[in-house]
Amino acid sequence: MDARSVTGKVLALLDAFDREHPALSLSDLARRSGVSVPTAHRRLAELVAWGALERLPDGRYRVGLRLWELASLAPRGQRLREAALPFLEDLYVVTRENVQLAVREGTELVFVERIAGRFAVPVMTRVGSRFPLHAPGVGLVLLAHAPDDVRETVLDGPLPRYTEHTVTDPVRLRALLADVRRQGFAVSDRMVTHNALSVAAPVRDRAGEVLAALSLVVLADGAEVPALAAAVRTAARSVTRQLGGSSYDEVVVRFESTDPGPEGSSFTE
């Protein structure tokens, strides 16, 4: 007997949808959620009536606009997107490349915004989709600045391999994350797809904590990383300031100019 509550069963039905399964039949939903067919049928009727799901002419179900409207109220995503969008658009106008914004959710990242043109390199991401932290540029930034327990959980694996360039060795990944913290940006060179390179930088809140990562994704061949990094870091700093925070570089400059520390030493991360 299924001991889950009604709410648990409803959430299991909603969780059955994913990028590879955007539309599902009653039997598929029951199987993927572990809910009996009669129970699934009742719960699905309620979800359709409320607008969380829509029923297609062929009888399958898909996510409804009511859920999208509700999700858009999430304060972290909404305020961040509103603050970041003008700078993402500026970065896209200058580069005509994929521009992405992501936040960390547990041991995964969630893309909250993406701008891409017709001629930009194809990517595996879409707004609202989740992805492991260890491969894309935005993920490397978020993982590098994640709490220690989160970082250790990810490093303990498993670390999925997407291409032969994906770093799946925990020792190498730990060193890569240290480089990200030290240099202020991350480079993911063909770690997700065979032809794409991404450069990402952190967006910080008022307390200086990293709350998001912003990236450009371009063709790996011929990519000029220094120029891309400069553009991405400038955009990320602008979003940080829009949110009322200070970039790490600004914190360092302020610290060094006001408090040189013992024997003239300066602050380093």
Cross-sheet strand order for the sheet of 108-115: 130-132, 108-115, 98-105, 210-219, 196-204, 186-189
Give me 88's structure tokens: 């993402």
Q: Nearest 10 degrees: CA dihedral of 168, 151, 114, 74?
A: 150
**Average per-residue pLDDT for the chain:** 85
pLDDT for position 269: 28
User: What does the alpha-carbon distance between residue 92 and residue 113 come to, in Å, rounded to a whole number?
Assistant: 12
Weakest mean pLDDT among 107-111, 141-145, 175-179: 107-111
Q: Is the pLDDT of residue 266 over 50?
A: no
User: Can you say whether the dihedral through the CA atoms of 47, 49, 51, 55 is positive or negative?
Assistant: positive
Q: Is the pLDDT of residue 27 over 60?
A: yes
pLDDT for position 72: 66
Q: For 126-173, how does the pLDDT look when each residue is reduced to its tens digit (9 = 90+)?
A: 777 889 999 999 999 999 999 999 999 999 989 999 999 999 999 999
Q: For 190-202, how does the pLDDT look when each residue is reduced to its tens digit (9 = 90+)?
A: 999 999 999 999 9
Q: Is the pLDDT of residue 28 over 90?
A: yes
Cis-peptide, bond into residue 226, ω within 30° of zero:
no
User: Helix (H, G, I), strand (E, B), or coil: what is residue 111?
Assistant: strand
* Res. 48 pLDDT band, cuts 50 70 90: very high
What's the whole-number mean pLDDT along residues 35-64? 94
Query: Strand 98-105 and strand 210-219: pairing?
Result: antiparallel
* Res. 73 pLDDT band, cuts 50 70 90: low
* Res. 3 pLDDT band, cuts 50 70 90: low
Our measurement of the distance from residue 209's CA atom to the centroid of its chain's CA atoms, rounded to an integer in Å, reads 16
User: Can you say whether the dihedral through the CA atoms of 112, 167, 172, 216 is positive or negative?
Assistant: negative
User: What does the alpha-carbon distance between residue 182 and residue 74 come to, in Å, rounded to a whole number?
Assistant: 32
Q: Is the pLDDT of residue 224 over 80?
A: yes
Model pTM score = 0.70
pLDDT for position 68: 75
